[in-house]
């Protein structure tokens, strides 16, 4: 019964399609093999990849929301300081995860 609801839920389908879309370089070359002996990326270990991708997307969404709130000056005082610190923390985390994955990383404005 629950599986039928999940299959018919258009919002869930859209979220999954966005999660698995191959519109980034890392996603496009995930399964690329240079030759038969050496694999550029691990084959079949999608659990780590999906967790990584989900974590990155969530961090991106939170960072974008925090930037929006800060730029619109919707917060002041302690909440403003907490939101700036949270944005910096998430930017650091994103930066470190990208380095661990061997991605080309640029220093974000939050960290400079």
Q: Examine the domain organization and report whether 55 and 20 are in the same domain.
A: no
Mean of the pLDDT values across residues 97-112?
A: 78
CA of 8: how far to CAs of 3, 12, 19, in Å? 9, 9, 18
Range of the domain at 35: 1-44
Q: Examine the domain organization and report whether 40 and 53 are in the same domain.
A: no
Structure confidence at residue 86 (pLDDT): 93
Q: Examine the domain organization and report whether 31 and 50 are in the same domain.
A: no
Q: Examine the domain organization and report whether 39 and 5 are in the same domain.
A: yes
Q: Examine the domain organization and report whether 68 and 78 are in the same domain.
A: yes
Q: Examine the domain organization and report whether 36 and 10 are in the same domain.
A: yes
Q: Examine the domain organization and report whether 79 and 109 are in the same domain.
A: yes
Structure confidence at residue 94 (pLDDT): 87
User: Has residue 43 got a pLDDT over 60?
Assistant: no
Q: Examine the domain organization and report whether 28 and 70 are in the same domain.
A: no
In angstroms, the CA 26 to CA 32 distance is: 10
> How many domains is the chain partitioned into structurally?
2
Report yes or no on whether pTM surpasses 0.85.
no
């Amino acid at each position: 019964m629950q599986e039928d609801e999940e299959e018919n839920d258009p919002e869930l389908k859209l979220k999954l399609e966005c999660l698995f879309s191959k519109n980034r370089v890392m996603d496009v070359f995930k399964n690329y093999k240079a030759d038969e002996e050496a694999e550029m990326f691990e084959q079949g270990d999608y659990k780590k990849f999906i967790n990584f991708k989900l974590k990155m997307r969530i961090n991106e969404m939170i960072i974008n929301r925090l930037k929006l709130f800060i730029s619109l000056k919707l917060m002041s005082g302690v909440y403003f300081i907490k939101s700036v610190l949270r944005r910096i923390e998430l930017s650091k985390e994103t930066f470190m995860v990208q380095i661990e994955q061997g991605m080309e990383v640029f220093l974000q404005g939050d960290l400079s």
